[in-house]
């Protein structure tokens, strides 16, 4: 309909009043935002092609919006921009040709670098009225949450960050990571931020006011937590289980407004059951103190498998004064936001043990092609589509039954999946 009305064309030189021109721009970009969010939420290709519209952004000047902070149109502009990046992520990483192109590349770093750079730039250019650092609820930080629309804007940013890096979290059998980016730690950082925002809104009894897309944001974070809950690092897995319960509790609250939330909570529960993750015997009163966090960070420098240093580096990357105990609107770390160069071996300001992991990977990238089938999230649905999830669970159960049959046929020679160096790739496709 928007194309039938010509909303996708620049109307600045048309014989229309200024009010009509502005209304057309706002209507088109309203359709554009719904298109991008709905496509991500339901796992479909965008309907509005980037090459098929030239409508300028609507004006930020609105006489009804002067005394409001943040201004509605200012928030709308940055919502449009993050949705543009989301569309590029879907096109380059999830659509058919994008996935095929990735499989033919020796490394996905050039594509991931370009997308990550755009996300960094988006965050760096946020005006002060739109900046927000959520409090770290895992450290028992508390702070008033800003407006609902600003919270959802930042949840969308972190969801886009997860969708950018999630396909490159290495699988259990991968000895060389598919990307020089610390994808698992980046996704954990973003998922924690989504959880922090949801927790803040829940504490203020405002979570029921979010739109239905916020369900997708929380669900995406929940999938990352379920992946982390199967980590061999017991403390890291324990904290992930706490986060899963928090996300499910937040989604239960949202069910008062959006009844479909119950269905997506069931999916998270089924995923946890698929990986034998016990969520019932978790002491949710546990929180890390600042002292415990400092101690864990120091210890993790000597332990390559610990994700804690990456998280601390990303806190410093996006926010100034990240060690402060209050979370509210504050200036981003604009002077130190790292722009990514695909030719650079260290795209982030990595700690020494991470540099040691990334460097040999960079030298081996020409020896083997990027194999998306071996990544931890290969074939996992990115969306809410129930049919896709039913198909996924059916495939996983079939693989589990086949593996159990193989174990019964060869009880002497086969060990558990975690200790068997000769296990087939099929066992590595338990993506959560």
pLDDT digits (tens, 9 = 90+) for 241-283: 999 999 999 999 999 999 989 988 888 888 887 666 766 666 5
Look at residue 155 in the predicted model and tell me its pLDDT. 98
* DSSP 3-state of 375: strand
**How far is C-alpha 114 from the geometric centre of its chain's CA atoms?**
16
Give the residue among 24, 14, 91 at the shortest CA–CA distance from 57.
Answer: 24
| Length, in residues, of the chain | 432
Q: What are phi and psi of 319, to 5 degrees?
A: -135, 145
Say if residues 7 and 24 touch (Cβ distance below 8 Å). yes
Query: pLDDT grade, residue 335 (50/70/90)?
Result: very low
Query: pLDDT grade, residue 387 (50/70/90)?
Result: confident
Show the tokens assigned to 12: 């600045």
Q: How far apart are CA 338 and CA 349, in angstroms?
A: 8
Look at residue 181 in the predicted model and tell me its pLDDT. 87
Least confident of 76-90, 333-347, 405-419: 333-347
Say if residues 74 and 130 touch (Cβ distance below 8 Å). yes
**Tens digits of residue pLDDT in 84-129:** 999 999 999 988 888 888 888 888 889 999 999 999 999 999 999 9
Burial 68-107 (b: 16+ CB within 10 A, else e): eebbebbbbbbbbebbebbbbbbbbbbeeebeeebeeeeb
Selected residue with higher pLDDT from 233 and 365: 233
Domain boundaries, the chain: 372-429
pTM: 0.75
* CA distance readout (Å), 76 to 54, 72, 147, 281: 18, 6, 13, 43
Query: Half-sphere exposure of residue 362, counting CA atoms within 13 Å on the CB side?
Result: 17
* Mean pLDDT score across all residues of the chain: 75
**Strand ranges in 246-377 using DSSP code E only, listed in sequence order:** none
Query: Half-sphere exposure of residue 129, counting CA atoms within 13 Å on the CB side?
Result: 14
Look at residue 61 in the predicted model and tell me its pLDDT. 80
């Amino acid at each position: 309909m928007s194309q039938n009305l010509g909303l996708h064309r620049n109307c600045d030189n048309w014989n229309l009043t200024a009010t009509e021109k502005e209304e057309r721009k706002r209507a088109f970009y309203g359709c554009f935002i719904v298109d991008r969010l709905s496509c991500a939420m339901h796992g479909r290709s965008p309907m509005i092609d980037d090459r098929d519209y030239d409508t300028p952004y609507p004006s930020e000047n609105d006489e009804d919006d002067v005394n409001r902070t943040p201004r509605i149109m200012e928030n709308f502009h940055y919502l449009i921009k993050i949705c543009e990046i989301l569309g590029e992520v879907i096109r380059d990483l999830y659509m058919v040709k994008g996935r095929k192109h990735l499989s033919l590349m020796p490394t996905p770093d050039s594509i991931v670098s370009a997308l990550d750079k755009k996300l960094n730039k988006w965050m760096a250019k946020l005006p002060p009225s739109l900046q927000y650092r959520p409090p770290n609820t895992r450290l028992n930080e508390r702070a008033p949450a800003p407006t609902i629309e600003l919270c959802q804007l930042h949840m969308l940013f972190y969801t886009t960050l997860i969708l950018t890096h999630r396909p490159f979290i290495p699988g259990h059998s991968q000895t060389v990571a598919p990307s020089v980016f610390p994808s698992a730690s980046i996704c954990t950082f973003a998922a924690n931020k989504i959880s922090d925002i949801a927790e803040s809104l829940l504490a203020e009894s405002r979570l029921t006011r979010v739109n239905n897309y916020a369900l997708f944001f929380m669900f995406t974070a929940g999938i990352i937590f379920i992946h982390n809950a199967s980590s061999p690092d017991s403390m890291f897995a324990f904290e992930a289980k706490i986060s899963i319960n928090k996300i499910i509790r937040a989604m239960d609250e949202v069910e008062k407004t959006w009844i479909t939330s119950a269905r997506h909570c069931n999916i998270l529960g089924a995923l946890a059951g698929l990986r034998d993750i016990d969520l019932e015997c978790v002491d949710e009163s546990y929180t890390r103190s600042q002292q415990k966090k400092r101690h864990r960070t120091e210890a993790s420098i000597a332990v390559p498998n610990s994700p804690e240093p990456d998280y601390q580096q990303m806190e410093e990357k996006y926010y100034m004064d990240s060690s402060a105990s209050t979370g509210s609107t504050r200036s981003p770390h604009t002077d130190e936001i790292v722009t990514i160069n695909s030719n650079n071996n260290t795209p982030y300001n990595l700690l020494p043990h991470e540099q040691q992991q990334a460097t040999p990977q960079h030298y081996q990238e020409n020896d083997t092609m990027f194999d998306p089938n071996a990544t931890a999230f290969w074939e996992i649905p990115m969306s809410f589509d129930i049919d896709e999830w039913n198909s996924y669970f059916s495939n996983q159960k079939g693989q589990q039954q086949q593996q159990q049959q193989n174990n019964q046929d060869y009880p002497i020679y086969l060990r558990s999946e975690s200790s068997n160096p000769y296990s087939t790739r099929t066992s590595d496709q338990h993506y959560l």
